[in-house]
Copies of this chain bind each other. A is one copy, B any other.
Amino acid sequence: MISIEEIQSHIITAVEKVKESNPMAGSITNSVTINFVANTQIAVGGSAAMVYLPDEGEFLAKAGGATYINMGTLFPVYEETLPLVVKTLQKAGKPWVLDPVAIGIGSLRTHMLHLFKAYKPSIIKGNASEIIALAGLWELEGGVGESQVRGVDSTNQVEEAKAAAISLARWTDGAVIVSGEVDLVTDGNVVASSYGGSHFLGKLTGGGCALGGAAAVYLTSASPFIAAMTAVSAFNVAGGRAEKQTDAPASFQIEFLDQLYKATPEDIAHTHFKMEEI
């Protein structure tokens, strides 16, 4: 099993590479939290670009080091945009992050999430209910057929999604993040539990989307598992620090972005996490 020291060393390299190279990660993401996602990607050292149209998505998929696809607020044109983008990513061998927000709501989302199974996202990020529902939709172990998702919120605990996360990671040969009080990251062989963060990230919209956007930035410069670990660790250190400075969600969000910007590679690498072999 990969050691904690090795992971920490890889995290330091990923953060440094991003801060030095300012890599572009394009996004197709929801309109509720799009600004928070962009500012998060910039805060960690990346460059953000968001689009809706098919040929623009195709362009970003080719031009960016990685792409972030968040299923939040779908527009009709996504019926053309999303298939073209994932095909382009696959053809170009570019990594991408899937955030299956609101899985279970509406026919277009369900249709697209079915399609994505064959295109194997490099990182899947969701709350426990979303991860269980996606494994269910893809008929993998640990999933359930019927979604327990309520709107955009989770009704399950992270631990309940462990089997689903492992199945998804094995299917995609990538990594899966289950966000929650303790975040779980797995590549299908090992499971990391990452500690820290803040309950305030659940008292504002977009904490999960921002995490997915940050993961896409790190994915330009690291393997899926290391990119996922780096994003989760960065959020846990920044969240923990911001919570100490603030006592309510809106000021927390500002402080959180500031702390994300200030966090050093070492800060991020030394966030507390535990490893477990499967």
Interface of A with B (CB < 8 Å)? 22, 24, 26, 30-36, 38-39, 42-43, 47-53, 55-56, 59-60, 63-64, 72-77, 102, 105-109, 150-153, 203-206, 247-251, 253-259, 261-262
Contact check, B73 vs A76: say whether CB atoms are below 8 A apart: no
Contact check, B257 vs A39: say whether CB atoms are below 8 A apart: no
User: What is the CA–CA distance of A38 and B203 in the complex, to the nearest angstrom?
Assistant: 10
Copies of the protein in its oligomer: 3
Distance between A262 CB and nearest chain B CB, rounded to angstroms: 6
Residue of B nearest to A110 (CB): B55
- Determine which of B42, B74, B206, B250 lies in contact with A56 in the assembled complex, contact meaning CB atoms within 8 Å: B74
Distance between A139 CB and nearest chain B CB, rounded to angstroms: 23
Contact check, B77 vs A43: say whether CB atoms are below 8 A apart: no
CB contact under 8 A between A74 and B48, given known A24-B150, A251-B255, A261-B248:
no
In the complex, which residues of chain B have a beta carbon less than 8 angstroms from the beta carbon of A60? 105, 151
In the complex, which residues of chain B have a beta carbon less than 8 angstroms from the beta carbon of A77? 75-76
User: What is the CA–CA distance of A259 and B75 in the complex, to the nearest angstrom?
Assistant: 34
Distance between A246 CB and nearest chain B CB, rounded to angstroms: 8
In the complex, which residues of chain B have a beta carbon less than 8 angstroms from the beta carbon of A254? 250-251, 254
CB contact under 8 A between A56 and B106, given known A43-B250, A261-B249:
yes
In the complex, which residues of chain B have a beta carbon less than 8 angstroms from the beta carbon of A36? 35
22 A–B contacts, CB within 8 A, in A order? A24-B150, A31-B34, A31-B50, A32-B38, A32-B48, A35-B206, A39-B204, A42-B203, A48-B152, A49-B151, A50-B72, A50-B73, A51-B102, A52-B74, A53-B76, A55-B108, A76-B76, A76-B77, A248-B258, A248-B261, A249-B257, A250-B254
- Determine which of B50, B152, B248, B259 lies in contact with A49 in the assembled complex, contact meaning CB atoms within 8 Å: B152
User: What is the CA–CA distance of A72 and B63 in the complex, to the nearest angstrom?
Assistant: 17
In the complex, which residues of chain B have a beta carbon less than 8 angstroms from the beta carbon of A257? 248-250
User: What is the CA–CA distance of A247 and B152 in the complex, to the nearest angstrom?
Assistant: 33
User: What is the CA–CA distance of A169 and B48 in the complex, to the nearest angstrom?
Assistant: 29
CB contact under 8 A between A102 and B49, given known A35-B35, A35-B206, A39-B205:
yes
In the complex, which residues of chain B have a beta carbon less than 8 angstroms from the beta carbon of A258? 247-251
- Determine which of B38, B55, B105, B153 lies in contact with A51 in the assembled complex, contact meaning CB atoms within 8 Å: B105
